[in-house]
Copies of this chain bind each other. A is one copy, B any other.
Amino acid sequence: MKFLSKVAVPVAVILLSTSVLAQPTPEEQAERATELRQSIFKLLGSNFGPLRAMGRGDIPVNAELAEKAATRISQLSLMITDYFAYDTRAFDVETEALPVIWEETDAFAVKARNLTEAANDVLAAVASGDMDAIQDTAGSLGQNCGGCHDDFRVD
């Protein structure tokens, strides 16, 4: 039943999100794709906040909060490449996403995977119960955000 290729899935997801009857224009699809990928990053950011603060020692390490935030970052990070599959370079959308995302899709996918792994490192630290490890991995996670923003996002 794999009549849709892996690449087609996210586009289908976006296309079908409004209605299967009213076919959106390519411009509408680009707007929608932009809005959806920005939703992922807003949610990522809101979960990154407490981990960064723990990593910096601005707030005490809280295993329960770290687990929740890292779980969500891990889950959301796995959505990134799908929601960027719709190439919006040709459209006049308000975006901080640099064109290089669609020129170097493999490098972009590696960055997304690094974020998943960094979030999973926090979860492993939580499972171990080692509060120092939670603080260290929470701090490292931020470097993954920044490392990707340097290359793929407008400053």
Q: A residues 40-56 with Cβ under 8 Å of B? A: 40, 42-43, 45-50, 52-53, 56
Given A36-B43, A43-B79, A75-B75, are A48 and B4 neighbors across the interface (CB < 8 Å)?
Answer: no
Over the window 55-97 of chain A, the binary record of Cβ atoms lying under 8 Å from chain B Cβ atoms (1 yes, 0 no) is 0101111111100110010010001001000000000000000
Do A49 and B79 touch (CB < 8 A)? no
User: CB-CB < 8 A to A16: which residues of B?
Assistant: 49-50, 52-53, 59
Decide if A98 is an interface residue (CB 8 Å cutoff). no
Which of A43, A52, A82 has the most chain B CB atoms inside 10 A of its CB? A43
- Choose one: B13, B48, B56, B65; the contact of A12 (CB below 8 Å): B65
Looking at the assembled complex, report how far the CB atom of A60 sits from the nearest CB atom of chain B, in whole angstroms.
6
Over the window 1-41 of chain A, the binary record of Cβ atoms lying under 8 Å from chain B Cβ atoms (1 yes, 0 no) is 11110000100111111101000000000001001101110
Do most interface residues of chain A lie in helix, strand or loop, or is the interface mixed?
A: helix
Number of copies: 2
- Choose one: B38, B58, B64, B131; the contact of A9 (CB below 8 Å): B64
Looking at the assembled complex, report how far the CB atom of A142 sits from the nearest CB atom of chain B, in whole angstroms.
12
Do B48 and A17 touch (CB < 8 A)? yes
In the complex, A35 Cα to B38 Cα: how many Å? 11
User: CB-CB < 8 A to A48: which residues of B?
Assistant: 17
Chain A residues engaging chain B, CB cutoff 8 angstroms: 1-4, 9, 12-18, 20, 32, 35-36, 38-40, 42-43, 45-50, 52-53, 56, 58-65, 68-69, 72, 75, 79, 82, 131
